[in-house]
Amino acid sequence: MSQNNFFKSNKIPKWLLKVLGKNYFKRAHKLTDQLKKNLNKT
């Protein structure tokens, strides 16, 4: 599906489902949590 089509329908395209994978909130949280530790060291 082209980008043009999914923006018309607001549907998340299949390729993005595959690329992003599940538990995206958890992974984003984990990543920023790890980086936060480095900021706290300074």
Partner 1 sequence: MDFIMKKISENKQIEFNNLINWFLSKKSAKKNLQSDYKWFLNTISKNIIFYYQDFKKLKIQNLKETIIKLKKYDNTFVKKFDINSKKKNELLIREVRKLNNYLSFFIVHGSYATNDFIKNWSDFDSVVVIKDKVLKDYKLLNEFRIKMIALENLLNKIDSFQHHGFLFMTEFDLNHYSSNFLPINVLEHSRVVTDKKILKIKYYRQKKFWVKKFLTLNNIFKKSFNQGFLEHHPLKGKYLHDNFKDLNTMYQMKYFLSLIMFIPCLYLVYWQTYIQKIFI
Q: Which residues bind partner 1 (CB under 8 A)?
A: 3-4, 6-7, 9-13, 16-17, 22-26, 28-29, 31-33, 35-36, 39
For CA atoms 36, 38, 40, 42, the dihedral sign is negative
Give least dist CB 22 to partner 1, A.
5
For CA atoms 8, 15, 22, 36, the dihedral sign is negative
Give least dist CB 37 to partner 1, A.
11
Give least dist CB 11 to partner 1, A.
5
Taking residue 13's Cβ as centre, other Cβ atoms within 10 Å add up to: 15
